[in-house]
Amino acid sequence: MERINRWRAHGGWQEVWRHDSAETGTPMAFSIFLPDTEGPRPVVWYLSGLTCTWANVTEKGDFRAACARHGLILVAPDTSPRGDEVPDDPDGAYDFGLGAGFYVDATQAPFARHYRMRSYIEAELPALVGAQFPADMERQAITGHSMGGHGALTIGLRNPGRFRSVSAFAPIVAPGDCPWGQKALGGYLGPDRADWAEYDACRLIEAGARLPALKVDQGAADGFLESQLMPERLREACSASGQPLDLGLHDGYDHSYYFISSFMSEHLDWHAAHLTA
């Protein structure tokens, strides 16, 4: 791996690293905040949304003060493979292809070779972080925004025992029932909806998957609330299955990082309570 940038912040180091990924077959970059605390530190994974890279939350997320206070490492990966050889949406749309990997392992040509974000996030990157940094891989949490909230929920649900807590900001909770998800899952996985179920948080919960702690915050003024996000679907799935859920709906807040940064510290305080218990 190669460190490509580094800044001093909040009594720690904000770094950006690049490495060649075996899963995606491309160079991949991620940011990592390393607080100045002794010994192995708990890890929080942050997965970003459509069109984003590692830079969005790193520059606008307001997470470093809370991470420094609790001694948390925060890792923010990219949202898709990138490069001239990586296929993109043929129409140049923002919601498929580059910047829109949806945290799946694609099975459909021409995307199957490079779009392996599930395996990258679930296996390859954690192994690299655990080997390179003072990370306590027995104490992990995961969060994310929008498409990244979908990633955080589904990765958490598919990996019982790995994460002590899971949260999300404005997540896509039922991608099989919204335009963003239908386009992405159909394009990456094909038309058989049975193949989509493992990438759908509501369906995973309905099938018996569980999380030890789940927190979701959503802006009530989010323009995507009813058409793409549908948090009530998650509430219904959790209520019917007995999955505990802390769901907050906040007047006036939209889908932007103004919303995320307003509640980031609260989420990290919540994760820290679970990671240090």
- Residues designated as active site: 146, 222, 255
Q: Which single residue is written with the structure tokens 């949304």?
A: 49
The rounded distance, in Å, linking the Cα atoms of 257 and 17 is 23
CB distance 196 to 245 below 8 Å: no
**Closest to 212 in 3D by CA, of 260, 173, 246, 237:** 246
Dihedral sign from CA coordinates of 161, 56, 115, 175 = positive
Encode 120-146: b = buried (16+ Cβ within 10 Å), e = exposed: bbbebbbebbeeebebeeebbbbbbbb
The rounded distance, in Å, linking the Cα atoms of 107 and 187 is 9
Helix (H) or strand (E) holding 132: helix 125-132
Q: Which single residue is written with the structure tokens 């802006």?
A: 219
Indicate the DSSP class of residue 207: T
Encode 222-241: b = buried (16+ Cβ within 10 Å), e = exposed: bebbeebbbbebbbebbeee
Backbone angles phi, psi at 64, to 5 degrees: -65, -40
Backbone angles phi, psi at 46, to 5 degrees: -120, 120
CB distance 37 to 71 below 8 Å: yes
